[in-house]
Chains A and B, each alone.
Chain A
Amino acid sequence: MREELVRQSFLGVDSDEILAAAHVGIVGLGGGGSHVAQQFGHVGIGSLTLFDRDRAEASNLNRLIGATRLDVDVCALKVDIAARGIRSVNPAVRVRPIPGRWQDHALVLRECDVIVGCVDSFSERWQLEAAARAALIPYIDIGMDVHQAAGRYAISGQVALSMPGHLCLRCMGILTEAGLAREQYGAAGERPQVVWPNGLLASAAVGVVMELLTPWFPGPSSVLLRFEGNAQELTSDRWLKECGQQATCSHYPLAEVGDRL
């Protein structure tokens, strides 16, 4: 085992080889995705493909991991900031930064073994999950929201694993027709985001990926972790944990995978 990874050898005797062979895609390298990318650099994921067309702005510096004032001054791409951080930890990682919309690189996205989505809108979540399902790729979704409740601001969020053949984001109630129609994510100013819940949710998402890839712990096929920021609580959805593992999804039949010829 590589010296850098000996402290995580409990993940399995061949976990370094498993992780080195894994190819993970991260869509959205902002507040959530920058945390995720940094951690994947540390844990030894071998191939990372990063999708984001945005550049660093001053308003990102409250949460964009790895970004510097100089990055803002030179309008650095978020994917390049993330790639720089990953390579500084582990130069052996095959990092592919794609400064564009993932929809314009859909075939590249299909090469990933796992996709982590750190996107802002419901509609993009929907599209991304559909693309993942169509290629039999497990999709891990991170979402954070700041909204007004009883005259105060409240932070909430979720991490969900959408496994092909199992419950999807619609089944879990994360995507709803009303939400897609409204497409209103947050009320505390424009797209409110802060670093600490992003970090917590990103860490939980990385944990879900590690359970999937390494044999240290028999992880579940469906995951829904709910975060209540004001109470500082991250809890596993009780119904999903106890009853939902055998439930199947009617929104994405397996027979609808692949290209239409």
Chain B
Amino acid sequence: MIQAAIGLRVPAGLLTQVRADLERRHPFAAERIGFLKARQAALPEGGALLLAFDYLVVPDEGYIRDRRVGARIGDRGFRPARQAAFSEAASILHVHLHPHLGRPEPSSVDRRETAHFMPDFVNVAPAVAHAAVILSLDSLSGWAWRGSNVQLLSPITVVGAPLVKVL
């Protein structure tokens, strides 16, 4: 069965805000994590668009020490995103940065960790898709969770001047 496409559109100004936050040094974590809030819009043939409209910064105290991963956040870090999913029926996009050029791919840690926590968002707000997005220095990629399915976000469009479309 062919899966219906799920795309992502994010305003360029919002993405700049995300990058600025993720590039800040944390007191002990090696990297930062954030959450984009998005609304879902239906497309033909069951497809969907995730339309990012806001960004939730994870405060320094939302991180917990764990040397096995670049960054780990605890319940305090996840709670505002889960609350937005529950009370606003918002799609939640977990975002972090890989500091290299080119299209980012999830590491084995990314795959393991997202498989662990992304279903929580699906359980909280099952009517919409949720996603994990990885930024690189000049590109981005993402995977959407809709129900029990996981699929590539495609296309991803950075809406601004210039308009950048990643297939």
Contact = CB atoms under 8 A, between A and B. Distances in A.
A207 interface: no
A130 B57 CA distance: 29
Contacts of B167: 21
A30 interface: no
Contacts of B128: 261
A109 to B, nearest CB: 10
Given A21-B167, A254-B14, A255-B53, A221 B39 contact: no
B27 interface: no
Contacts of A221: 160-161
A113 B51 contact: no
A138 interface: yes
A107 interface: yes
A108 B54 CA distance: 25
B72 interface: no
Interface residues of A, number: 32
Interface stretch (B42-50, B98-106, B116-124): B42-50
- Binding site secondary structure of chain A: loop
A163 B163 CA distance: 10
Contact of B44 (A111, A138, A254, A257): A111
Nearest to B7: A111
A258 B44 CA distance: 14
A107 B44 CA distance: 6
B159 interface: yes
Interface string B16-45: 000000000000000000000011111110
Interface stretch (A63-71, A174-182, A198-206, A212-220): A212-220
B45 to A, nearest CB: 9
Interface in B139-167: 155, 157, 159-163, 165, 167
Interface in A117-148: 134-138
Contact of B162 (A108, A165, A219): A219
Interface centre among A21, A107, A110 (most CB of B within 10 A): A110
A26 to B, nearest CB: 16
B11 to A, nearest CB: 5
A126 B35 CA distance: 32
Contact of B53 (A108, A114, A138, A254): A254
Nearest to A254: B53
5 contacts: A107-B44, A165-B13, A254-B53, A257-B53, A258-B39
Given A107-B43, A258-B38, 17 more contacts: A107-B44, A111-B44, A136-B10, A136-B49, A136-B157, A137-B159, A164-B159, A211-B161, A213-B162, A254-B53, A254-B54, A255-B54, A257-B39, A257-B53, A258-B49, A259-B40, A261-B127
